[in-house]
Structure 1
Amino acid sequence: MTLTAAASGFVVFLLFVQVIQGWDYYGVTYSSTEICAVKGSTVEINCTYRYPSRIDGGDTEVKETFWFTKLSGYQPVDLSTDSDYQGRVEYSCYERYYKKSCTLRITDLRESDSAEYKFRFTTNQQDGRYTGSPGVTLRVTDLQVKVSRSSHSNRRELKCHSSCRLPYRSSYIWYISGEKIQSQTSSTYLLYYDYGDSYSCAVKGHEDFPSPPVCINDKICYTDRSICASKGSSVDISCTYSSYQTIRSKFWFNHERSHQWQSPSQPEDLSEDSQFGGRVQVLETETGRSTLRITDLTESDSAQYHFKFTTQWSELRSSLPGTTLTVTALQVQVTRTTVHQSDTEAELKCHSSCSPAGRLSYVWFKNGQKVTGVETSSFKGRVYPGDIISCALKGHENYGSPSVYAPRLPSVSVSPSAEIVEGSSVTLTCSSDANPAAKYTWYKKNGDPDLQPLSKEPQLVFSSIQSSDSGEYYCTAENELGRRTSEYISINVTYTPRLPSVSANPSGRIMERTPVTLTCSSDANPAAKYTWYKENRTLIQGPEGVYHFSNIRSEDRGIYYCKSENQYGEINSSSLFIDVQYAPRLPSVSVSPSAEIVEGSSVNLTCSSDANPAATYTWYKKNEDSPKASGQIFTITDIKAEHTGNYYCEAQNRGGRHNSTLQLIVVSRSMKSVAAGSITSLFLVIIFLFAFFLIRRKRSTKRIAEGPDNNAQPNVGPVCDNPSAAAQRNPSEEQDDLYYATVSFSKNQEDPLYSNIGLAYPKRQKHEEEEEEEDEAGVDYTFVNFKSSSASPELRCQEDSVEDPSALYSTVTKNPRV
């Protein structure tokens, strides 16, 4: 038998009545109004429908067709979108000529699928909606094993039974203590001997949905080994039992409550336990079956439950484990969302990890207020920021689910909260109250509209934070119901100064007497303090890093650098060379050889000047336009008399120019011998004068030694006519006398004694380029110093004389050139 055939055989049509509903040609016809099916099978519910082809001249078109069993906000819930039927529902609808039909197919039937099913269609006409009501009632039941004793022997007869009529010629499978019996395929099984603890059956092809096990001959079998139920709901725990003896007592218990028993080895009736007071009920629906019903379930009710009975001669407990009950709380599950700008359209489901037994009614709450018109496990509506939604089982509102809501405003924190130093480990944490739990994303504020997330975890971790990580950060918290953004948190990373950069302004050529500013800058946090140095000599300290020359000088030329420091360290900059440029200083000129210059000899005129950049030199002769030579040295190899004259050199750079003059006198060879004789005569005159003054001094000393003349007249004033009067002066008034022999040379004389070189020093003018040369007479002096204890009166008188041919000095004058 195929699965489809077996499934269709499971369906029993109890009432074959054609139902037509409608008005004005609208209508729905169901094939049957009641259907009974076995748990685990497949069922098909069929209908046909009709509608007017045209209304008011307009053609009628069907826009929507679906089946439903429940409402949400007074609106039918499409069965194909109901999470309780997910993956188990299929529609087969078509229109052919005048026949329009739709079939609902439900697989893997559950007892909770028992309900009334209705068909609804919608057209394009105004008010063109129609629902076939009443619908089709589906009842899903379990298989049961019925035990009876044979009238002619001690044999037991087991029958696989259902309240729904089973398919004709169905094949069955029998189980003894959970093990399949291969030889048995009929609905009846004759038991000659008790081989096992329990017996159950199933329809072939649906082995996953066997009947509850039954027991015979003083045994206890449990219907379900494991049950899961929602907090606040009710649960039935059943078992079957059998005994040849008269049963005197029976009750349910669980070992979790053994600490309440008077004797740990003697179980006590659960119905008398104070924890279950008023919540426990034992039902005997049929002989040999006991059901423990627990209402208002709590999570503490999770335990393993057992059944026990006693007879006159024995006490019996099952050798098999009891039924394990797990109680879980309801949860609101977000199944579908559509995000809008100001809210979220969400579809929610009141969910439990346990599948509730039977069809239950639910209550929904929004912001603490009950939502009217919704009693299903699903809720669909708009959720705004701040809304909270929960659900509960109807009649058990005190056991509602935890509320679901969009994230609250996230809070952000940083660890460590103290000062953050570069290279340390830093963690940013984002947290928000949200249910379902929020997902987090971290961003750094940088003005980019397409921000790339830094992390999608609650924590953003910097294992070794860098200065570039300084800035403002924020996070977002998001779940299915909304999204919130945190405030900014600022991260300030402190670090040692980076290598300073140094610069000069102006950055190009630096001229003397101009303002210059040196600037030092370094990236540091906290801000650095700066120190300027010139070749290891401290110039200035401060936070600005600026050193200013208001009027830079040539001696400021040199190598400079700065130091940047804060509390985390210090670092020196690279060197900065300051080259101060200036115009040439007054040049220094000289002649070589420095002795007299004779015709035919070679002469070097040298010029030098302090300048930056180095000066270029040009030699000129006075009153001549064209230069004589360039370079520091001007060489005349065969000098002649016509070379006599004033020469000047000009030192020049881009800063300016300056010049100096020297006088060159060339002596002919014939005049050289005359000059030599004259010089010899001059030296003889000097020696003669020296001897004369020496003799006079000795005589004066002798007179003083002989004593004063008593007949001498008092000296009232200077007596220049009487030499003896001068001799009578007080010796204490005598002083050393200095005598000068001045020798000068006149340019205009042709005396060979004057063949020499005299320097002309020009006066500096306010504008260096407009200097006016002015020659001065060069005068050579010969100083003769005579030291005497008594001055000669004759000499003193001679000093007062305007003109005396016997003067002891000779003057040779060199007239200045006009």
Structure 2
Amino acid sequence: MAEDAVRILFLVVLALWTTQLPSADGAFYRRRPESKVVLEGEDASLSCSFNDLSSDDVVNWQGPPGETIISAGRKISVLYGRRHSIVGDASQGEYNLHIRGAQVEDSGDYRCSTPSVRAAADVTLTVVVPMVGPPDITGAELPLTAGDELLLRCRSRGGFPPPRLTWYNGTHRFGSEDTAGDDEGGSVTLELFTARVSKWDDGANFTCVADQGFPDIVRPRAASRILRVDYPPTVSVPSPSVHAREGQSVNLTCYVDSNPKATVTWRKLGDRLPRDSIQRERSLQIVKVSKYDSGVYQCEADNRILPVGVGSIRLEVFYPPSIDSTLSDKASVMYGHNDFSLNCFADGNPKPNIRWRRKDTSLYWENPLRFHRVRYDVEGTYQCVATSDGFPVVKKEVEIDVLGKPQVEAASPQVSTNQGDVARFYCDVIGDPLPEKVTWLWRNKNGVESVLLETNNGISITEKIVGKMKTATLSIDHVTSDDEGIYICKAANIFSSDQREIRLTVKESRTSIIAIISVSVAVIVMATVSVIGVFVAKRKGWICADEKHATPALSPIRSVPPLPKYGRKPGHGTNDSGVEDLEMQEMDGTLKPRPPPRLDKDWTSIGLSYPRLAHSNTLPPYSTVERQRPDGQDPRLSACIQEEDSIPVVVQVEPPAPPPKDKKRRWKRRGGDSAGHVPQPGGNSASHVHQQGGNSGVRNHHQADNVLNEIQAESL
């Protein structure tokens, strides 16, 4: 926006500067003439001045009529000599045209020019003659009727230049601005035409404005016409629907719009007006409404102009619900009847919501009350409940009486009891009429049925009536497994019979079961404690501490390797007695590292024959018991081997078999006798372990295994 304004300002300055710029050929305008508007009889002055006029330049004025020369220099033509003159300082190039007492014939275009100025300046002088008075309006002098056409004519009263006429409806322009000239007095005329008027045109102010176009010189003149239109009644109601409670007072009102005023009457469609109703022109008052006053009321307005106006109001009266008296107080139905229903009718406004409820409960059902299959549990008192907003609840009770065969229900289909206890069976019997007696039957394991009576030993039967239900109880004392079977509760009346089966299961006594469980738990606990005690004693070496026999202290040169397959007993290091061998078990594990293999000898040449073995005392014995010895004990002595100064030991070992491919598989010994013999491939004992001093040898498998392991370690 700012850039556009600067650009426009620059162009205007450039144009003015160009206009005032002196030409290379001669003079130029210092002040151009300007158009003028004056009232008739006033003086008019048209300005014109130049710069750089030469002595040869002559300033001329031309004007009406046509382009007649008015002056040359300062000389005025004889035709304009009385009222026209040239004023201003000629030495300054001022040649202003002055007209005294301007007349209408002085209006027109004027030109101020000189031969040395190429573009001559033209101006206009307007001499205004005011209008004599406001324009005249003709038409619609009498009231019109809605639907008639409207023609108004506006005619100006003199004035020069001729005024422009415009119609306004209130403050809004209405119609066109075309005018027609009139030869008499120079007046103009403008018509307003409407093909059809309506009630909305009643009171409309149509105004004709005459404007000569120079509000600063002469103000516009105007004339108005207020339109009167008669129209038929139009009825409107503030509320097409009126609601009232029964007993209240009600006013029904209609608003009527008509010209002239209409007469209003009231009527009720399809019925007469209430007796206590009062008509007051546009309103109808009903002092005390009842439910019979509901309906449609109409007000009619008539002013002798068709059509007659009609308005409708619907009156709705609210009244409390009421249940139809035809509903019976009691209904009898047969047991097992299908699709039995009770329907309840109730009147009220608003329309009541009808539901059924069982008395003294919160159980509700929709209306009508339907029973797909009638049983005794549906018997009782039901209430038809009708509710409407704003009114108290209305109820009516209906008693449903169910007739038919009995219905037997057992408390449980199966009874379980301990041997020697009392077994009780319960069943409830419902029927109308109620059976006189309940029969108990027993079907044993073989399918034979028999009737149970109180005369039987240990059997008691009781019956109790509560309302319309009978409860029967069967009790059997000191039940045994022979009493197991099916117990049948059976009842009958005049219509039919029904029965229920209850299975009896007899369990063993709880005392025997508890005793067996207690003994079993005690045995398991004692066995567990014994195993743990043996295990701990063998770990601590307490079992072998009492033995006084000495064994040679063997000092292996190297770490003991894992026991070869041919030097171990089957069973992963367990004795024949079943007690786990702790020392052999540790050798199966990772407590004793396996020595690296001898790469310089073939595996089949290691430990085949050892006729003699000298025992060195440089290394301590290598066994599990020795690692757990008490402080200060001779490391060469085993807790389970007797001491000897020198013990010659001869061991012959068969060549070991190739190692198994499956490394996860444990090595197994091929077996040995209790004296420590190691069988040879032929099946005979090849070597024995001898001890000096009259000892019988290694006394248990632990000692034999330790000796064998140390011999193998020494051989490797």
- The TM-score, its normalising length taken from structure 2, stands at 0.36
- Structure with higher Rg: it is 2
